[in-house]
Structure 1
Amino acid sequence: MVASFSPLSDLGCSCSGSMDSESHSLSKVLKDFALLISVEWQVRILVLISMLLQLVLVVLGPLRYNNSSGIFRFVLWGAYISADAVAISTLTTMMHNGGSAIYGIWAPVLLLHLGGPDAINAYSMADNELWLRHAFNMVYQVSVAVYVVYSSALEGHALASAILLLVAGAVKYGERILALWLGTYSQIVKSCLPIYKFMKEGNVVRLSGYVVMGEKQVQKMIEKEGGAPSKEKGDIEPGTEASSLEGKGIVTTNDVKDHTGINEEDYNLCLSHALFKMYKRRFANLRFEEGIREETEELWVNNLGGVKAFRIVEIELKFMYDAIFSKWRTAAFSKWGVVVRLLNTTLMGIAGFLILKEREYREAQRLVTYVVISVALVVEVFQLCRIMISDWARVNLICARIDEIKWCRNCRMKVLEIAVLVLGKVQNVAGGDTYRSTGIQQHCLMETCLNSSPCVWWIAGFLPKDNFVVNGYIKAMHIHKVSLQEELKVFIFDILKKKISDLKGRREIQRIILLGIIRTCTELNDHCDNLEEIILILHVATAICDMKRVSLGEEENKNVRLSRILSRYCAYLLLSRPNLLPLHPDMARLTYLELVERLLKIQKSTMGVLGKHSHPQSIEKVSVEAKTVLAAATNLARRMLDQNEDERWKSLAECWSGLVLYMGCYNKATFHAECLATGGEFLSQVWVLLGHLGCGEQSDSAMKVKAEVPKGVY
């Protein structure tokens, strides 16, 4: 059979193949178009998200110094981590899907975002140590931005604005790297060496007061001791008297104090700044030679007193926070930093003006561009204003006003005088006391165990003792903050003043304090080698005495208030900040949880007799069967309850104050600095105060005096 061929059938096959080909090409075009649309919208969304993250950091960044809320820290941490990731992801998307002209404008704006806000340059000290990684990342991201601008084929005003934004973004990114580098441990130690050499005993060059400005000149003075005089302009000959150093770039606290027109607030600010520069030696474990001098004791003990001393320390810690975690040190305390910031703001303003003239972009692209550029410019102006009213700028202006020969002549002197006055007024209205402590954290172990739901502890019974769920629940639900009263600062300062007057050598203050506590509370004698046990014994005993006072309807006096606040604060430190204390954090946590477990077993066996309103005699009755820490706490409480009420609370208040001073003697510099980024701690203020007075050890070794405390003596 012969096969037949039909022309119509061939034509039908041909038409069918042509239709399939056209359909395939059309679907490919639609797919490519949809992909192009999705990429463009993806970039738009990412750019807007990056802008929103920057706004969150700009708004929340300055607040974290006084905010210890866990939710606040989580939001800020999430924004800080996400900001760089989103900006880098957007730049990468632009590079791989280039060709759009608008990308040439958006890429430099993302460099501004990568530069970060001034108030939160680093989230932790570990970020500063990674400055070299950030520097390599900067080189790569700037290269990507340049490539995107080049591939976008911009012309005219658009190209000029892109170049201006590119320069501004690269400079701001570089400023971030510089601030990270200056906040590293090695640079902090290096920056304190000139002051350390200057303040050492036996130095032939002396200045009256502490150095506020002019460390480089001081370093020249030291380097030229015993060497040939240099011919450089402005150098200072060795052995120069303090009275002849005016106008050569060195400003001391005595210059500020003696200068007419400087009020007490400005003097306190300059004194805090000078002390901050000196206190950086604690990071290098360098000794405070001036701490044992009569002038130091005269300043802190006699001239300042309790409230003013802690006020100076608060401002000093704010300077320390800014130097480690923000850009304000680099941007506000050098003339080049201010000039660079003004130049950057000007470049961004010119670029924004040029972009407004462009009409060739689509409506959506133009809208996103206007929003992003406007927000970036507003943020830059806002941060520039904050720099101008910062404490760093104020100290710089005060020093420039005093150093007349170098900075001020005739009308310039009057301009600086007006600038200092206006800046002080604006700072009080706009900034307020951002360095003032707002409260002190509290945690009561007894309330945690006795007032929590039984279901919670039933579930916790199936988990390990050191499980993060149990620790997280206790920290989240049973820690609160109370206002930090001035009477607490005055009381601790008075105790410190008394201890100093009784001592010949301040290096032994830890041993004397610990011996005094054990002498008062003999039940601590068997536990003197474990600070965590001392804290828990005193804490439980104080809680039992307070419950007794409430049940008898006794009034609350000053010593009761201070004992309760310090007791709960030390318990909080043991639970949440063990790294600040001279003990092993893991052992402290296990000791705490073991005591919680014992209290819960007692509560369960007595069917809730240890309730919130139970009588303290019930607690004593059931607790006597317990061992170790709980037994010692019960015995101590029983003996305290036998004493006179006034004597009892006076002894407890002095014990707790001594314990806080004891813990503040140890140099946990890195951990104290980390705490500044999470709301700060009152113990950090005590640590700084004791350091300036030369009290305690200059290293962070834990409890060296344990072996010196005799057991069974008292």
Structure 2
Amino acid sequence: MHGYRYLVRLPDEAKLHSLCLPVKSKSKESLWLEGHAPDYLQKIERMDGVITMEKVWSCKGTLLSGSGVREGRLKDLCLSFSLFKFICMRFTGHSLPQEAHNELWHLIQQMLGEDKGPERVFRVIEVELAFLFDLLYTKYPVNLNLCGSLRRLLLLTTVVAAPVISDYFGKTEPCDLVVMYICKYVQNEWWKKKRCAGKLIEIMCRVWLLKPWGRQLRQYSLLEAYGYSPWKCIYNRFTAPYLDPKGDGQKQLAPTNLPKQVIEAIARSIGRHGTSNLENGQASIGRDGTSNLEKGIASLKLNDVFVQLSWACNHETAAHVIMVWHIATTFCEHEKPLSGHQLSPEQRDNFGIATKLSKYLAYLVAFAPRLLPGHPCRTEYIFSRAVSEARELLEGSSVSMGDRIQKLKSVPDDKQTIVGQGARLGRQLVNKVANEERIWKVLADFWAEMMLYVAPSNNTPAHAKYLTTGGEFVTHVWVLVTHVGFRRVPHSSEQHGDPESN
């Protein structure tokens, strides 16, 4: 972290100048130099009381100076808090310059290159979103200031157990509390020498790091749920104000735990996109901030199946592409299931990545269209048409899955419906891509790239809304690509049809 002067915390007593608000009175000299013509750029004059990532990493206290898991987690907690400030900028309509995104990409690239690097990156993002959740939704702010630090350290267990003492001290957010004490530890030489001070801070971090997200992927399968009809006695116009309405075919499968293989697959995909831009002589993520995310096209080129399969990516909306490939993946899951004892770990991993991400992205189409590119009304309509097509072709829900797959085999190749194109793609994968190992490698790479394609978004309220129910995995990927600076080039129908993109 040498040279990374990302801000963790400013001194509490400093009253900052703002370009948007009038200058406030201040009890002490401002940290900021006045901006001068022509650019009026403000700079921090005094760094002695400012805590940056570089200072946290170079701290010599026993709490942070080691190289163990505990020390690394506490340092990463400060990194999460620093990056959390960047995400807050998105919620206030501001953005970082492209140079800052490039610097963040180099940092994330270094982290991904470490042993268990992908797991560490997503853990940093998890804590970052926990800070965001506290900022947006915590009802009872904890009120503390840094005066009389030793006294409040002794009261720390009381503060953690009973935040209702909030009337006792000056106000700050709960998400600020833990980092505040780590920053005080970095500054205070006496704290560094006392093992009990570090131990109390460590205990507090363990208590706070109870994240709302359960590391689960919600799942949906069109070929299993198309026959579902919601009970009118429960879901009707009278219960609509109290229950989220359900439509035909909207029945979730049981959620599945997020496997580390999915995290690693997305990390590999984002690494390939950054590297490909470097090889083209561009900045690490493109000089204009865009990346070559084109609904899975890069993954097809990587696996030498672009000529055969690219037609299945050339649909106007991401929802259309997702549903076609979802049907094809389900077809392959039943026609080319993994079997035998000679399977390599890579084969098993690719099978799990493809099937779990396929069902997760189908879930987003069916239940969370606001988190996908394009207008949510059009996404909902595409989903409803897919359900109607499946009902017409596959008949009632009493038909076994084996019979449903057999019906898909008989659909003509020129059938231009979502289900018909999914059946055509599934047959093409089974008959022309050859063995099971290659099929699941193609599908795993495709779905990992599709996660990157759908993640960039300007719809910050939608991601904030889903934090209240535990959050979505796509929100974690959104945070990652936001830091890196990936912005897809949407199809014209997505760009003009989505009010958020305008």
- Shorter-chain TM band: 0.7 to 0.9
Q: In 1, distance between residues paired with 2:187 and 2:489? A: 34
Please point out which of 186, 195, 204 is paired with 1:402.
Answer: 186
Q: 1:631 to 1:222 in 2, by over 3 A?
A: same
CA distance in 1, matches of 2:493, 2:460: 13
Instruction: State the distance in 2 between where 1:483 and 1:392 align.
Output: 30
1:193-252 deviations in whole A, cap 9, x for unaligned?
A: xxxxxxxxxxxxxx84210001889985897xxxxxx9953645579xx998443x3100
Match of 1:380 among 136, 140, 164: 164
1:481 partnered with 2:255: yes
Equivalent position to 2:273, from 469, 489, 499 = 499
Per the alignment, residue 280 of structure 1 pairs with 88
Q: Counterpart in 1 of 2:330?
A: 543
Partner residue of 1:447? Answer: 224
Alpha-carbon offset, residue 530 of structure 1: 1.6
- Specify the alignment match of 1:259 in structure 2: 59
Counterpart for residue 164 of structure 1:
none
Partners of 2:163 and 2:47 lie apart in 1 by: 40
Distance across 1 between alignment mates of 2:483 and 2:294: 19
SS at 2:370 equivalent: helix
Aligned residue pairs, count: 434
* Cα 1:523/1:284, change in 2 over 3 Å: same
Task: Answer whether contact 1:285 1:698 (CA < 8 A) is retained.
Answer: no
Residue 516 of structure 1 aligns to which amino acid in structure 2? A
Residue 393 of structure 2 aligns with which residue?
Answer: 602
Q: 2:421 aligns with which of 632, 643, 649?
A: 632
Identity %: 21
1:592 to 363, 367, 383: 383
The question of 1:422 aligning with 2:211 is answered no
Q: Distance in 1 between matches of 2:231 and 2:175?
A: 52
Given candidates 290, 293, 296, the residue that maps to 1:508 is 290
Cross-structure match for 1:659:
450
Name 1:211's counterpart in structure 2.
7
Q: Residue type of the partner of 2:187?
A: D
SS in 1 for 2:255: strand
**Against the structure 1 CA distance between its residues 705 and 493, is the aligned structure 2 distance closer, same or farther, given a 3 Å change threshold?**
farther
Matched residue SS, 2:377: helix
**Structure 1: how far apart are the matches of 2:474 and 2:324?**
20
Distance in 2 (CA, whole Å) between partners of 1:615 and 1:487 is 30
In the superposition, relative to structure 1, how do residues 469 and 297 fare at CA in structure 2: closer, same or farther (>3 Å)? closer
1:471 maps to 246
Distance in 2 of aligned mates of 1:625 and 1:235: 69
Query: For residues 514-529 of structure 1, what are the structure 2 equivalents within 5 Å?
Result: 515-516=297-298, 520=306, 521-524=309-312, 526-527=314-315, 529=316
Q: RMSD in angstroms over aligned alpha carbons?
A: 4.4
Cα distance change of structure 1 residues 666 and 265 upon mapping to structure 2, 3 Å threshold: same
The 2-side partners of 1:390 and 1:379 are apart by 9
Match of 1:581 among 362, 367, 372: 372
Q: Does 1:691 align with 2:466?
A: no
Change (3 A) 1:208 1:457: closer
CA distance in 2, matches of 1:234, 1:608: 69
Q: Which residue of 1 aligns with 2:158?
A: none
Q: TM-score, normalised by structure 1?
A: 0.53
Give 1:597 shift.
Answer: 1.5
Gaps of 5+ in 1: 1-206, 224-229, 343-376, 707-714
Q: Which has the larger radius of gyration?
A: 1
Contact preservation (8 Å) 1:315, 1:435 = no
Residue identity in the other structure for 2:6:
Y
What's the offset of the Cα at 1:482? 0.5
Give 1:108-257 correspondences, 5 Å limit. 208-214=4-10, 220=16, 233=29, 235=31, 245-247=46-48, 249-257=49-57
Match of 2:130 among 318, 322, 344: 318
C-alpha distance 628-333 of structure 1, shift in aligned 2 (>3 A): farther
Q: Deviations over 1:300-328 (max 9, x none)?
A: 11135311111110000000010011146
Equivalent position amino acid for 1:630 in 2? V
Q: 1:590 to 1:427 in 2, by over 3 A?
A: same
Aligned mates of 1:583, 1:421 — CA distance in 2: 49
Match of 1:621 among 403, 410, 415: 410
Structure 1 CA distance for aligned equivalents of residues 99 and 394 of structure 2: 50
C-alpha change, 1:600 and 1:291, in structure 2 (3 Å) is: farther
Find the counterpart in structure 2 of residue 366 from structure 1: none
TM, length-normalised to structure 2: 0.73
Q: Quick check: 1:540–1:633 contact (8 Å CA) kept in 2?
A: yes
CA distance in structure 2 between the aligned counterparts of 1:682 and 1:492, rounded to whole angstroms: 11
- Between Structure 1 and Structure 2, which shows a larger proportion of helix residues? 1
- Counterpart of 1:536, as a letter, is M
Distance (whole Å) between structure 2 residues aligned to residue 446 and residue 383 of structure 1: 56
SS in 2 for 1:440: strand
Using the TM superposition, give the Cα deviation of residue 280 of structure 1 relative to its aligned residue in structure 2, in angstroms: 1.2
Aligned to 1:308: 120
Q: Is 1:441–1:479's contact at 8 Å kept on the other side of the alignment?
A: yes
Specify the SS of the correspondent of 1:471.
coil
| Distance (Å, rounded) in 1 between the aligned partners of 2:399 and 2:339 | 17
Deviates more, 1:658-667 or 1:279-288: 279-288
Q: Is the 8 A contact 1:547 1:615 kept in 2?
A: no
How far apart in 2 are the matches of 1:426 and 1:312?
Answer: 18
**1:656 offset after TM fit, Å?**
0.9
CA 1:702–1:675: 2 relative to 1, 3 Å? farther
C-alpha contact 1:397 1:420 (8 A) present in aligned 2: no
Equivalent AA in structure 2 for residue 425 of structure 1: I
Matching of residue 331 in structure 1 with residue 142 in structure 2: yes
Could you tell me whether the CA contact under 8 Å between 2:134 and 2:175 is conserved in 1? no
Alpha-carbon distance, 1:423 to partner: 3.0
